Amino acid sequence: MSYGKLYMSILEREQELGPLETSQSGQGRPWQHWQMAGDAQGVVWLALDEKGREVNTITQAVLDELNDILDKLDHDQPKGLVLRSAKRTNFCVGADINQFQKVVHGQDITDQLRKAHEIVGRLADISIPTIAIIHGNCLGGGLELALCCDHRLAIGNARMGLPEILLGLHPGLGGTARLTSLIDPLKAMTLMLTGRSVDANRAKALGLVDKVIEERHVLKAVDTLVNKGLRTKHASLKNRLLATKPARRLEARQMRSKTAEKVNMAHYPAPEALIALWEDHGEDIDAMLQAEVQSFAKLLQSSTAQNLIRVFSLREAMKRAAKTGAEAFQHIHVIGAGSMGRDIAAWCSYKGLQVTIFDRDFNMVARAVKSTAEMCAAKHLPHNVTREVLDRLIPDRYNLGVASADLVIEAVPEEIGIKQTVYSHAEAKMRPDALLATNTSSIPLEELAKQLKKPEQFVGLHFFNPVSKMQLVEVVGHRRADQQTIANAKAFVGQIDRLPVEVASSAGFLVNRILSAYLLEAMQMVDEGVPPEQLDAAAEDFGMPVGPIELADRVGLDICLHVAETLSGQLSFPEGSLPGKIRELVEKDWNGLKSGQGFYRWQADKPEKQKDNSPVSKEHIDRLILPMINSCVACLREGVIVDPELLDGAMVFGAGFAPFRGGPLHYVRKRGSEDILTTLERFAEKYGERFRPDPGWQDLRIVDFLE
């Protein structure tokens, strides 16, 4: 008898496995979220199949039914228990995040967690051999459930991780204690502190799974484990040392130091909470399990966790926006192999599409191939996978790919004449059903579309640099664009694992327009004599990933100046709002990182900054952040974006707006719009009309969202 397709459906195999068990309390109905059957050898096969979901999550209903099932298993005492998923693509992706947004009272959270711990603890303590068979994603609470089993077997496509730290939390279903007890505690802590997932082979090397097997070998492996088990592993000398608190204290100090280099733990308390858990209780699994409950409950109530959970929900909403039902794209043609064009081509090839890339300077195309290989190396792809990515990227000396592509993306310099010439040549050769897209960052699409024969099939796809790291893509519409074109463009963005946000064609579109207000005010303050280091420190204290001056240097001061001059004409910036220092630097060819000198001198891609121990100024923070917020309100009023929630998502994923604050408009709600309006009016009197509150602050639709 083969169990090779068990995860597809136990129900389909009822005759082979025996009668399907039913809930004791369900009046003969099967359990809603679990399928269970027994085989001739006395082993029970239990498959998680959460009702109404494409993927499994851990909910209270799932755990309550598991508790019911464990009652039956305690009574029947089968020879062994195999835990699987009945979903085709995954084991379990973790806890249902939505339940975390319904936090009310701390004691309620603690009580629910203790109840959940008791249930999974029963699985961990059951007297029969237990085996988890893992395929697809096994994350968060799903992995914590698997850790309760005696053995774990991974199918080749399995991927495992505990990503709770990315939500401002740490594992809360026993994972902190069980993982650090199972594998090298330092490697376990690294997995939890980074939130990274590992593939099946890496999981095997870590000791997270016992074996990596193919589906056809599942039955034999289960039989071996149930009847013979595995030899007991003895704790290594390193693990025995880390069972002592002095050794853990020393390692914990190193963890804190390394973590502080990457995140501000004043804004993100979860890493410190996780480190303290292990440092204080790492020698006693029961004590650590108990402490985990209190620590998780405290974190869940924090504004950081609630805001990061909100950001996660925004990300899921943006992913859903990409599911338009449009057919998948197969062939992308990129015109222009500059920095953005080659990054777009590389990413599309990496995500499995055939890509042709053309540039009048064929040396630029060669650079595109080289940079794609460098991206693959940075991602540590195996040689054979890198070869596949490069095989999909086809240098196109004569621009022939334009005739067969599903989508043509133009990424040439920001000059209307150049772009319109490209369109004229492309439209004459493109397939009738193909889309034409521009990656322009500042030119209104109405201008670009004036001479097009099929403007209804023209759309903006504004990627952010670097494409391999920035998740957002602005899908830019215009008055003559067909809605199906917009839908197809969103689907393409989702296909390449990016987040689409639909915006109207306008000066700077959404993110660049808002970000420009931040950068311009920083430049203005430099002109006033504020040291660049102070401004960067203020922004980073607020929670921005990098300060405005360092950001400008990284982007390129010549580019920043060009964008500022372009937007000043389109948005009618107040007189005197364009700073002078940046122009002086550009005239010297001091353009920042790429020239080695800008506001800062750059060495090994790092800015040399003067130490400044002066306290961070709240006024400096407000002068940087409030112009962004004022621009957000203006964009809503003008209809650049319709949904305020998606505006928050766009600013987090496209500009790095402090994620732990939940987005700029969510920040307004937490701080209070009256306080912000009062501050803007005060700044307008003190510093100029650029701070005057936008009329959108009086728009009832916007007011209702902000209150």
Q: Which positions are catalytic? A: 95, 141, 144, 164
Characterize the bridge pairing of strands 80-85 and 435-438. unpaired
Q: How far apart are CA 139 and CA 129, in angstroms?
A: 23
What 3-state class would DSSP assign to 85?
strand
Say if CB 485 and CB 622 are below 8 A apart: no
Tokens standing for residue 407? 């989508």
Axis-axis angle for helices 245-260, 270-281 (nearest 10): 170
DSSP H or E segment with residue 654:
helix 644-655
DSSP H or E segment with residue 532:
helix 532-542
What 3-state class would DSSP assign to 30?
coil
The conformation of residue 77, written as its DSSP 8-state character, comes to -
Q: Which of 392, 398, 459, 472 is nearest to 429 (CA)?
A: 398
380: left (phi over 0), alpha (psi -120 to 50) or beta: left
- What string of H, E and C letters represents the secondary structure of 322-367? CCCCCCCCCEEEEECCCHHHHHHHHHHHHCCCEEEEECCCHHHHHH
Query: What's the angle, vertex CA 664, arms to CA 662 and CA 666, rounded to 5?
Result: 55
Q: Which of 287, 143, 142 is nearest to 295 (CA)?
A: 287
Say if CB 549 and CB 585 are below 8 A apart: no
- What string of H, E and C letters represents the secondary structure of 208-269? CCCEEECHHHHHHHHHHHHHCCCCCCCCCHHHHHCCCHHHHHHHHHHHHHHHHCCCCCCCCC
Question: Cα dist. 705→315, 514, 648 in Å?
Answer: 19, 19, 12
Q: How far apart are CA 440 and CA 473, in angstroms?
A: 12
Beta bridge partners of 160: 138, 198
Say if CB 324 and CB 209 are below 8 A apart: no
Q: Count CB neighbours of 354 within 10 A.
A: 19
Q: How far apart are CA 56 and CA 65, in angstroms?
A: 14
Q: How far apart are CA 201 and CA 246, in angstroms?
A: 33
